[in-house]
Amino acid sequence: MSRRGWALFAAMSVIWGIPYLLIKVAVGGVPAPVLVLARVGVGSALLLPSAIRRGQLAPLRARWRWLTAFALVEIITPWLLLSEAERRLPSSMSGLLVASVPIAVVVLGRLTGGTDRLTMTRWAGLLAGLGGVALLAAPSAAGGDALSVAEVLLVAVCYATGPLIASRKLGDLPPLGMTAACLGFASVIYAPLAALTWPGAMPSWRVLGALAGLAVVCTAAAFPLFFRLIAEVGPARASVITYINPAVAVALGVSLLGERFTPAMAGAFALILGGSVLATRPGGRGARGPDPEPAFAPGPEPAPGPAPAPGGP
């Protein structure tokens, strides 16, 4: 890769690794609907003008039903669930559980008529990844956080569903227009929910800073950067940030929030990461392995599998 490609890759590896930390800080001062509205509202306000100026909204009209479904599973539902879960779960735990997205992509692809052949290697990867999820989730579930664990695993399923919808129904739509439209739709959905749960007092500057970081850095700035990364290195290489984001989430949670990192978490991460790599390998000659990254941005090079889908963690 070029130096520009490496710089963009490093930036996205960090930018989509820090939302877990920022969400953990923000939910300490505002309800989850307010957090999500701040993120999607500011993000749409910053991206919509550019999408309108480039004429990228008009092509979306013919596919509005699929675009609505896509926004529901990629932004509207998972961002609320993740925010609610992080009220009780450590940010590092959430990041590791969401790392199971590539495993879910493979499973859902097969259940929905995908043609990828599951070789013995890929089956081994699936089993290893699921074993890592079980190792990671079991102690928290047994300790009374079963609902929170289930919420994060549902987030992973949502992030795995988005690429399937994108690749099969929305793959030819302009990515910036899609992202702006999805964020705008999410803003309309969350405005009344946020009004009903609006905090009675001004949040602390720490919470406001976390909200600003989520909206400006992790949403509005992240998508254009990811589009550039796709164009520079192709979707297959760009998708590798999926394997680095959880490590960034863990490092930030442990170093800045004092969260514990246990040997079981280390073992679970190794199983999930290794399982994801094996499970998403091409299934044979001519077969196409799914692109595990849950962030839509098809570049000029055709994606090797389901198109990445907007959202980010």
CA distance 304 to 234: 10
Write the DSSP string, the chain: --HHHHHHHHHHHHHTTSHHHHHHHHTTTS-HHHHHHHHHHHHHHHHHHHHHHTT-SGGGGGGHHHHHHHHIIIIIHHHHHHHHHTTTS-HHHHHHHHTTHHHHHHHHHHHTT------HHHHHHHHHHHHHHHHHHHHHIIIIIHHHHHHHHHHHHHHHHHHHHIIIIITTS-HHHHHHHHHHHHHHHHHHHHHHT--SSPPPHHHHHHHHIIIIIIIIIHHHHHHHHHHHH-HHHHTTHHHHHHHHHHHHHHHHH-----HHHHHHHHHHHHHHHHHTS--STT--------S----SSPPSSSPP-S---
pLDDT of residue 171: 79
> What's this model's pTM, rounded to 2 decimal places?
0.85
**What is d(CA 97, CA 95) in angstroms, rounded to the nearest whole number?**
6
Residue 288 counted as domain residue: no
Q: Specify if 301 maps to a domain.
A: no
Q: Kindly state whether residue 305 falls inside one of the protein's structural domains.
A: no
The tokens for 201 are 């007092």
Place of tokens 């490609």: 5
Beta-carbon contacts of residue 297 (< 8 Å; ≥ 6 apart):
175, 223, 226, 227, 229, 230, 235, 238, 308, 310
First vs last C-alpha separation in the chain: 25
The answer to whether residue 297 sits within a structural domain is: no
> According to the model, what pLDDT value does residue 139 have?
79
- What pLDDT does residue 250 have? 92
Q: Residue 247: what residue type?
A: A
Domain interval for residue 107: 3-279
Q: Please report, in tens digits, the pLDDT of each residue of the chain (313 residues total).
A: 788 989 999 999 899 999 999 999 999 999 999 999 999 999 999 999 999 999 999 999 999 999 999 999 999 999 999 999 999 999 999 999 998 888 888 888 878 776 667 788 888 888 998 898 888 888 776 666 889 999 999 999 998 888 888 878 887 888 889 999 999 999 999 999 999 999 989 999 999 999 999 999 999 999 888 888 888 887 767 777 878 888 899 999 999 999 988 888 899 889 988 888 888 776 554 443 333 334 333 333 333 344 444 556 7
Angstrom distance (rounded) from CA 252 to CA 38: 22
Task: Please report whether residue 308 resides in a domain.
Answer: no
Q: Does 300 fall in a domain?
A: no
Residue 189 covered by a domain: yes
| Pairwise CA distance, residues 134 & 124, whole Å | 15
Q: What is the pLDDT of residue 182?
A: 94
pLDDT of residue 142: 64
In the prediction, which pLDDT does 236 show? 66
Domain-embedded: residue 251: yes
Tally the domains of the chain. 1
